[in-house]
Structure 1
Amino acid sequence: MDRRAPAPFRHAADVAMRTAAKELGLRPKEFELAVQTEHVRTVPGPPGGARRVPRQELERIKGAPDFPGGLRERLRVMGASEASELLDISPARFARLARAGCFGPASFYVNRYRTVVWLYLVEELRDFAENNPTLLTGRLPAGMRAKLQAGTDHRARCWRQRRLNQLVRHAAGPWEQAAVRASVLDDATIAEAVPDPGERARLETLRPCFLEVRSVSKATRDTLAELCLAEGEEEVRWHRFLLDAELETARAAEAVAAAPALRPWATSRSAPDLEEGHPLQPVPEVGARPDPGTARPVAGPPSVAVPRRRWSLLRRRRPKPAARPAR
């Protein structure tokens, strides 16, 4: 149940994203990163609308002693070359640490050669250097060297996980959370995990926008679509496992909502029945979210072949209507 205030009263205390970015003095990309990293907290907007920023949140940020410089510094990102200089290590060593997953990129862009250029938060790099000085000099641990020699590269995976965590936090309910988990799996994997066509259609309807893009070429869109999908058996298996757990939670919550409310006496018995000593029918007890260790076994492949297609994970920006006065 949504216990928030009615929309007219709630939105009077909220502002649109563009208004919030302007008040905080942030460029669009900076503000987008601020929201993704939870430096700026948002709330759901009107049904079907974009999320909004509470006025109280803006006042909290603007009231900080280090505003606005401190906020901009916490949102500062840099590429591998600058980052290696910051950590005082060679670019080659920085690349090895990044591929090993020692720190994850917060953002990226695709250059004119359609190469993904990863960007890292300066704040996180400094924390890593402070807490892991032994990884900045000398030989890397043997296990890490072995994985790197085998071709390990966790940069895209770390970025996907960061984005997934944000989308899960913003999900409105259990089915929305399941749709987030499904958003990084291809259709063949989803068909195996969710054999019910109705549930698959529901997940697709609720699927969030994983990555919003502006006008780009088809080749770049294909590159971005690949970036949004889990890769490698280990990552796919992990997200499949989490999807199973989220689906069990969603189904259980829906079953409880559909059950009749319990009255002082059993709903299937009359008061005279109680006087005669007939026992009440037990009400199914709703447990907490299942522990990952007890998640149901992975379902086998469906008997009907499913065409291998991908969900569109990218949302192209549509022309916006004439600007309305910010509230």
Structure 2
Amino acid sequence: MTVAGDMCTEAAGVEAVSTTTPGTMAVGTAAQELRLKRGEFAIAVHLGLIRLIVRQDGGRPRVGHDELDRLRAQEGFPEALRARVRTVGTAKGAQQLGISPDRFTRLARAGCFTPITFYLNRYRAIVWLYLADELSGFAAREPRLLVGRSPAWLLGRLEGGTDCRARNWRSRRVERLLALTEDPWARAAVLAETLDPVQLAEVIDDPYERAYLARIRPEPAFGPTGPPLARETMAHLMRADEPDEMLWRRVSLVMELDNARETRPAPSPGGEWRDFAPPGDGRAPEPDVRADAGSVPANAAPDRAYVSVPESDPAPAPVPVSVPASVIGSRYGSEPDSVHVPTGVAKPAPGLLARIGLRRRVSKATGRQRPGRGRAPYGT
């Protein structure tokens, strides 16, 4: 049995301290002091019952001695703490609710209660686990769903093949991770994890931004433990798999990226930083248009609307230039044969549908249809 319980909880942004952390201990030692298993400890962190300390140097999170003293001082320790993080599977959950395992599975698939974690059995099948406390609360709120005939709305969901377990677990995990941090880039990294690489590239054009988000992605409290199969299953379950959910994650990521770029730019290779902050009017920075259009190479990149000038030559004064549609038309959609770009006038940024990759554009220069990209490169 491959347990994935300690992989569902991250220790991002709870409390940042310096590289020297006196009066702390490792999470493994803290779990033993609190008489919790690794999976129980991870669930307690996920629920906010235990606060971790994250070091500024990026090391493994730790637990302060004052946090252990606070938990030990609670009434009913350690039984009360273990009861709050106790999980049950389908068989024990059905027994707790007094229903059959088949009815329990139908209620879970319809989204009546949300899993807290999962593990892979010996057949490599996903086994969902639920909080025993939440099942007791559900039984008290919805006693009519436990006896008699199932309502029409529940039967309609099941007949349509609905299975809300993975989606509800994913939404719960994303909401908790977003609540753990206020850093806009870390929040964007959480949302980026819900999209597959192809969709992520459609939303975020810049590969350096994607690499930065992957680097600051929240990690489990105990590190990337478990076999590769469990980690692959975790990554697969984190990705949105329904059209409405994917659209919502795309829109949320675009909004979070706008906030992150205004706060600070993402680092690029060589120690360079790109100025992602828009000017006061909220538009993208205007291009540096130099020389004349005749010096534009025939194979110029479609996202470049300027001409590079050698360092040895003095930079001429900016003048208006007519840029061919093959240069900027593919970025902003259908354009006439020649587009006059006067100096000081910025090209309007694409709309939200184009930025999340849901609107297709036709380039008259090439006659081909291009899928919508995420965000127009800054400086165009």
Retained in 1: the 8 A contact 2:17–2:56? no
Retained in 1: the 8 A contact 2:19–2:57? no
Q: Could you tell me the TM-score, scaled by structure 2's length?
A: 0.63
Change in CA separation of 1:189 and 1:149 when aligned onto 2, cut-off 3 Å? same
Question: Among 249, 261, 276, which residue is 1:239 paired with?
Answer: 249
Distance 1:65 1:171 in 2: 29
User: Is 2:109 aligned against 1:99?
Assistant: yes
Q: Match of 2:264, SS?
A: helix
Partner of 1:324: none
1:158-197 mapped onto 2 (5 Å cutoff): 158-171=168-181, 173-197=183-207
Distance 1:18 1:161 in 2: 28
Retained in 1: the 8 A contact 2:17–2:55? no
1:255-294 mapped onto 2 (5 Å cutoff): none
1:112-127 mapped onto 2 (5 Å cutoff): 112-127=122-137
Retained in 1: the 8 A contact 2:43–2:85? yes
Q: Could you tell me the TM-score, scaled by structure 1's length?
A: 0.73
Query: How far did 1:152 drift?
Result: 0.9
Query: How far did 1:118 drift?
Result: 0.7
Partner of 1:30: 40
What stretches of structure 1 of length at least 5 have no aligned partner? Answer: 260-281, 286-294, 307-327
Distance 1:216 1:5 in 2: 31
Question: Among 41, 50, 61, which residue is 1:51 paired with?
Answer: 61
- Cα deviation, 1:146-203, whole Å, max 9, x if unaligned, reads 1221111111112222322332233361011101101121011111211233322322
Query: How far did 1:232 drift?
Result: 1.6
- Cα deviation, 1:182-240, whole Å, max 9, x if unaligned, reads 1121011111211233322322222233796545365x554443223221212222222
Query: How far did 1:4 drift?
Result: 6.1
Distance 2:234 2:190 in 1: 17
Distance 2:50 2:226 in 1: 26
Partner of 1:78: 88
Question: Among 216, 223, 229, which residue is 2:227 paired with?
Answer: 216
Retained in 1: the 8 A contact 2:16–2:53? no
User: Alignment RMSD, CA only?
Assistant: 3.1
Greater per-residue helix proportion: 1
Question: Among 116, 122, 140, which residue is 1:130 paired with?
Answer: 140
Q: Which has the higher contact order (CA 8 A, sep 6+)?
A: 1
Q: Which amino acid is the alignment partner of residue 49 of structure 2? A: H
Question: Among 238, 259, 272, which residue is 1:249 paired with?
Answer: 259
Q: Percent identity?
A: 40
Change in CA separation of 1:92 and 1:187 when aligned onto 2, cut-off 3 Å? same
Retained in 2: the 8 A contact 1:44–1:51? yes
Retained in 1: the 8 A contact 2:18–2:55? no
Distance 1:192 1:5 in 2: 36
Retained in 2: the 8 A contact 1:110–1:117? yes
Larger Rg: 2
Change in CA separation of 1:7 and 1:48 when aligned onto 2, cut-off 3 Å? closer
Distance 2:77 2:179 in 1: 26
Q: Which amino acid is the alignment partner of residue 197 of structure 2? A: D
User: Is 2:240 aligned against 1:230?
Assistant: yes
Q: Which amino acid is the alignment partner of residue 138 of structure 1? A: G
Which shifted more, 189-198 or 63-72? 189-198
Retained in 1: the 8 A contact 2:110–2:164? yes
Query: How far did 1:15 drift?
Result: 2.6
1:143-162 mapped onto 2 (5 Å cutoff): 143-162=153-172
Change in CA separation of 1:155 and 1:55 when aligned onto 2, cut-off 3 Å? same
Retained in 1: the 8 A contact 2:87–2:132? yes
Q: Match of 2:128, SS?
A: strand
Retained in 1: the 8 A contact 2:111–2:164? yes
- Cα deviation, 1:91-112, whole Å, max 9, x if unaligned, reads 1111111111111111111011
Distance 2:41 2:235 in 1: 23
Q: Which amino acid is the alignment partner of residue 186 of structure 1? A: D
Retained in 1: the 8 A contact 2:356–2:372? no
Distance 2:16 2:197 in 1: 36
Distance 2:224 2:120 in 1: 11
Distance 2:95 2:251 in 1: 39
What stretches of structure 2 of length at least 5 have no aligned partner? Answer: 1-14, 266-273, 283-350, 361-369, 374-380
Q: Which amino acid is the alignment partner of residue 130 of structure 2? A: Y
Partner of 2:298: none
Change in CA separation of 1:210 and 1:182 when aligned onto 2, cut-off 3 Å? farther
Retained in 2: the 8 A contact 1:16–1:51? yes
